[in-house]
Homo-oligomer: A and B are copies of this chain.
Amino acid sequence: MNLILLFDDDFTADAARVRLTGRRLRHLQEVHRASVGDTLTVGRVNGAMGTGIILSMDKSGVEMAVTLNEAPPAPLPLTLILGLPRPKVLNRVVIAATSMGVKRLVLLNSVRVEKSFWHSPRLSEENLRDQMTLGLEQAKDTQMPELLLKKWFKPFVEDELSELAQDTEKWVAHPYDAQACPMNTQRPTTLIVGPEGGFIPYEIDKMKEVGFHAVSMGERILRVESAIPALLSRLFPA
């Protein structure tokens, strides 16, 4: 973790003091090999970033004095809509999207999404929040993304997508009958990326009906965990 993300519960009565246990304590001890007096990069969820100085640390917890006075990096002006990935890659995909600066992530059903994927324990609110936390800690960011689960393709695309994507560029990554994916647009964008195997023609047609256009990144077909950084880096090079 390149930043330790702090939650409201971590703060003690003194608003400039935090006490951490569990995963973050273990990480500080085992990976950072931190000790009393060390200064670390910290940030308050949905708030400012800054530094924390370790005041005390033992097996039961670590106490830090924190100074929070830096703005987190700018979010991407993007809503990313993904065909629900298989459970094995879901965590990695959520971490990748979060670390790239995505602040609204929609996981969507599609014909090519296996029904069983929707029953994965990895879709619990707690696990998804944990993965987004890891993505923020990786990228040095504090702004927790909003994550929406949409189990019904047709009602989402027909009734919700127009409003969600209002006043944004509307792209669906789909290599057939597509224009080249734009470079360095920096404009508010809604980007849809299909599941493994891609969307079926009916699904692409439904998206086109609400104003989406197919874009391609060339002949090579990438795994979703590679396609997302490749697409976002192309649309929004920092």
- Chain B residue nearest to A219 in the complex (CB): B73
Give every chain B residue within 8 A of A203 (Cβ-Cβ).
Answer: none
Give every chain B residue within 8 A of A111 (Cβ-Cβ).
Answer: none
Compute how far the CA of A175 lies from the CA of B99 in the bound complex, rounded to whole angstroms: 15
From A10-18, A77-85, A166-174, A229-237, the one touching the partner chain is A229-237
Are A226 and B100 CB-contacts (below 8 A) given A140-B220, A217-B237, A237-B217? yes
Q: A20 within 8 Å of B by Cβ?
A: no
Are A220 and B141 CB-contacts (below 8 A) given A229-B226, A234-B233, A234-B234? yes
Q: A221 within 8 Å of B by Cβ?
A: yes
Compute how far the CA of A183 lies from the CA of B138 in the bound complex, rounded to whole angstroms: 24
Give every chain B residue within 8 A of A233 (Cβ-Cβ).
Answer: 217, 229-231, 233-234
With both chains docked as a complex, state the minimum distance between the C-beta of A214 and any C-beta of chain B, in angstroms: 15
Give every chain B residue within 8 A of A6 (Cβ-Cβ).
Answer: none
Q: Does B222 contact A100, Cβ atoms closer than 8 Å?
A: yes
Q: A95 within 8 Å of B by Cβ?
A: yes
* Number of interface residues, chain A, beta carbon within 8 A: 35
Q: Does B2 contact A221, Cβ atoms closer than 8 Å?
A: yes
Q: Does A139 contact B221, Cβ atoms closer than 8 Å?
A: yes
Q: A206 within 8 Å of B by Cβ?
A: no
Q: A218 within 8 Å of B by Cβ?
A: yes
Compute how far the CA of A180 lies from the CA of B101 in the bound complex, rounded to whole angstroms: 18
Are A99 and B140 CB-contacts (below 8 A) given A183-B183, A184-B183, A234-B237? no
B-contacting residues, A102-127, CB 8 Å:
none
Can you name 18 A-B pairs with beta carbons within 8 Å?
A2-B221, A95-B223, A99-B221, A99-B222, A100-B220, A100-B222, A100-B230, A101-B220, A138-B221, A139-B220, A139-B222, A181-B237, A217-B233, A217-B238, A222-B229, A229-B230, A229-B233, A233-B233
Shortest Cβ-Cβ A-B pairs, 7 listed: A218-B238, A230-B233, A139-B220, A229-B230, A229-B229, A226-B229, A73-B219
